[in-house]
Homo-oligomer: A and B are copies of this chain.
């Protein structure tokens, strides 16, 4: 499906490739005041988080160098990474993501440009070898920082100092993920994921307002839909634009919300019309997961990967139903189809009937009737939970110690949104101040992919060494703080 459209969609996407803003930045501290000897280490601190290309200007002191200088250079997004090593790493995500290089410099003086793009605040340099005849002088260290974001666009936030601090970190997170496309994280995966794009686009609409970059990403996803019209969870742009072979139930559906939100924010109805049939196709493809009699997601085992959150024990049967409804609602708002409206109504009703536990006033999921925060959040966001039941189910999760907790800023975003939806504005603001503010308290320059206040070393990948500390899906406090939705009368 849509095969005849894809070449044109790709052309549109490529025509919107952004020009990157470039800025030369230098360390604010850590530059050595002496020439280095073998086995010395230094840590350069660039003051905040950057994405870019790193260059060292080196010279020698003493005799003419009679052996190469051998350096190990490690780029760290935050200070904790400086002391982490790959020794004994057994995580399941590739350790190739850890930003460490080695270089031999045969001739000094030299300007050594490191070969890749790095995401970092700190650069650790270990002098692995010199010779006894010379010492190494770091004449200059600099980075060419890149971003597609224009820092002049977002208006300064006013008001509470803590909110301003959180907003600043949120903006930096988003801007450093804004490159050739909206990356999920500039350290890792450096890739366009639909789940991240959706939240980036939201935040972009009230900050950098780089709507062409959102449009480019929507068309990249459109151009790489499979033969059935199914949109991939993520895609690559190098060496050529290509969908990853990863499909997620929820991420494909989120194309609808992302498109809808883009059209509303940008006013670009032409793109809305062009991509609406593809958006609706995602709803249709999800039909295979429903029992047409019961109007319920049949079996979470058949769903494939439905992400929701990085909580492995989480049963996703209820959330899948809710996400379908939320996305169907977004589709209905783009094109008022009475049949779709009826289907949404039936599926909300079925979900309430089947998954609501009236005694505990919350929603459960799966054969084990599992209780989770995620189910309550999505019950609210999908409109399955109505009236007083909506706020009540959120309270019920909080009162239920065995409820599967939320583990990512991505899931926390949905929780804050649900709080706003049920009118708990002050509580929503408090969650932002506590959760994202907690990262700020720990010195974050950008918001992290993962943050568990009780266990800062938590990683879904087996080791925090591969965690991303500037991650798109964590940037939404700026959206909450700037969209007005935290205001009591909004």
**Residues of chain A whose beta carbon lies under 8 Å from any beta carbon of chain B:** 38, 63-64, 66-70, 92-97, 101-104, 106-109, 115-116, 128-132, 188-191, 236, 238-239, 242, 244-245
Asked whether A245 lies within 8 Å of B64 as measured between CB atoms, the reply is: yes
Instruction: State the copy count for this chain.
Output: 2
Q: A108-B239, A129-B96 are in contact. Are A191 and B66 (CB under 8 A)?
A: yes
Interface secondary structure of A, over-half rule: loop
The CA-CA distance from A131 to B93 in the complex, in Å, is 7
Q: A238's contact among B69, B103, B106, B238, by CB below 8 Å, is which?
A: B106
Asked whether B92 lies within 8 Å of A70 as measured between CB atoms, the reply is: no
Asked whether B67 lies within 8 Å of A96 as measured between CB atoms, the reply is: yes
Please give me the 10 A-B residue pairs with the lowest Cβ-Cβ distance, nearest first: A67-B94, A96-B129, A70-B96, A68-B96, A94-B131, A107-B238, A102-B102, A95-B129, A94-B129, A67-B96
Asked whether A244 lies within 8 Å of B64 as measured between CB atoms, the reply is: yes
In the bound complex, residues from chain B placing their C-beta under 8 Å from that of A108 are 239
Asked whether B66 lies within 8 Å of A95 as measured between CB atoms, the reply is: no
In the bound complex, residues from chain B placing their C-beta under 8 Å from that of A68 are 94, 96-97
In the bound complex, residues from chain B placing their C-beta under 8 Å from that of A70 are 94-96
Q: Please indicate which of the listed interface residues A64, A115, A116, A129 has the most CB atoms of chain B within 10 Å of its own CB.
A: A64
The CA-CA distance from A68 to B190 in the complex, in Å, is 11
Subset of 9 A-B contacts with CB under 8 Å = A68-B94, A70-B96, A94-B130, A96-B129, A96-B130, A102-B102, A104-B115, A106-B116, A107-B238
Asked whether A102 lies within 8 Å of B101 as measured between CB atoms, the reply is: yes
Asked whether B239 lies within 8 Å of A109 as measured between CB atoms, the reply is: yes
The CA-CA distance from A106 to B115 in the complex, in Å, is 10
The closest CB in chain B to the CB of A95 belongs to B129
